[in-house]
Amino acid sequence: MKKVFLILILVFVTIILSADYAESFLSIFPTSIGEGTRGNLYSYSDNTNPMFFYNPANSSTDISDKIFIGYEHKFLYSNISHFNSASFIMPTIRSVRIGFGYINQIISGIPIYPEYSDTVSFEPRGYFSDNAHCILLNVSYIYTNDPISKYEIAGGLNIKSIIHSIYENMGIGAGLDLGINNSYKFNTFSEQVPSKVYLGFVLKDIGGTKITWDTDSKTTDTREMMYGIGLSYSSDIRIAQSQIFLELNYSNREGGTVGFSFIYKYNQMIGVFAGENEYINADIGYTQREIGGGCFIDILGFGIYYGISKSEIGFNNSVSIRYRV
């Protein structure tokens, strides 16, 4: 019985980290728009938010001569954990665009309890943290049939390096994501209400992303490959100075997830967004539906975004800023 109490505590913490934090590190939705739409952005095309976290091709779904800089901070699970993401994307050169991304999640103040004895003390003898980092290199390419530009095909690749430390151990790994995004434009000549349909497809953690830990047994964790497909529609309603975006998608995440997202902009300055995920094979007693929403203001290339969503553990709040140079 000497170490039973300590072992039970460590097992409990390990289960929590594995189920809700460690496994979800690269499954959390970067950016406030991603949080509010529950990550349903497999085919989202917008040169003001070229978010390659969701689909590596999305950084090139529009040709742009602007530099994009973005940063976000999340307060996860009712402030139990903190999450940061950042991105830097260069202008399009010869139809190729290069970007860099960073993701970090930290859970601090996890208690370490003393070994069991006849005089049990429930005061922790110390604390440790779970700190995970991911650095991404994004390369994407766009083909468009100029000068009419009725259809576009974009493809992209994310190369990611992962460093994850828990207590006194560290895990290191690397992985690949691949994506495509095809679009077709309507009303090319009239341009009264130009609209587009998009079809996006993404493979994440191709072949499985392995993280090897510096334990004596060289423990290896593997993130299984995930695929997703999204069909979306966007329209520029010029008479109302409005733009709308709708996406419906499916992925094999959590045993099968159907997602829906909606984004509305007015005069390219303000807007709202919302999203929902349905976990179609969720076990009884577990969350079968998640929803989120948010809003933004964008003036002279500078934007401020806020997103909120509800999870099993608590609310997630996200604040982000972005700037186009």
Residue 202 domain flag: yes
- pLDDT exceeds cutoff 50 at 20: no
CB 284 within 8 A of CB 263: no
**What's the one-letter identity of residue 289?**
R
Residue 157 domain flag: yes
Q: Please tell me the predicted confidence (pLDDT) of residue 205.
A: 94
Q: Cα–Cα distances in Å, from 88 out to 64, 135, 136, 241? A: 14, 12, 10, 29
CB 323 within 8 A of CB 301: yes
Average pLDDT over residues 172-188: 89
Average pLDDT over residues 22-36: 82
pLDDT band at 188 (very low <50, low <70, confident <90, very high): low
Average pLDDT over residues 202-206: 95
pLDDT band at 222 (very low <50, low <70, confident <90, very high): confident
The CA distance from 269 to 36, in Å, is 18
The CA distance from 321 to 305, in Å, is 6
Residue 215 domain flag: yes
Q: Where are the alpha helices (DSSP H) in the chain?
A: 4-16, 32-36
Average pLDDT over residues 287-308: 93
Residue 311 domain flag: no
User: Among 80-84, 121-125, 240-244, where is mean pLDDT lowest?
Assistant: 121-125
pLDDT for 233-272, tens place per residue?
Answer: 999 888 889 999 999 999 998 889 999 999 999 998 999 9
Number of domains composing the chain = 1
pLDDT band at 118 (very low <50, low <70, confident <90, very high): low
Average pLDDT over residues 76-86: 85
Residue 262 domain flag: no
Average pLDDT over residues 274-290: 85
SS3 call for 132: strand
H-run or E-run covering 134: strand 126-144
Residue 289 domain flag: no
Q: Please give the model's pTM, rounded to 2 decimal places.
A: 0.85
DSSP tally for the chain: helices H, then strands E: 2, 16
Residue 268 domain flag: no
pLDDT for 125-165, tens place per residue?
Answer: 777 778 999 999 999 999 987 666 688 899 999 999 999 98
- 221 lies in which domain range? 4-233
Residue 295 domain flag: no
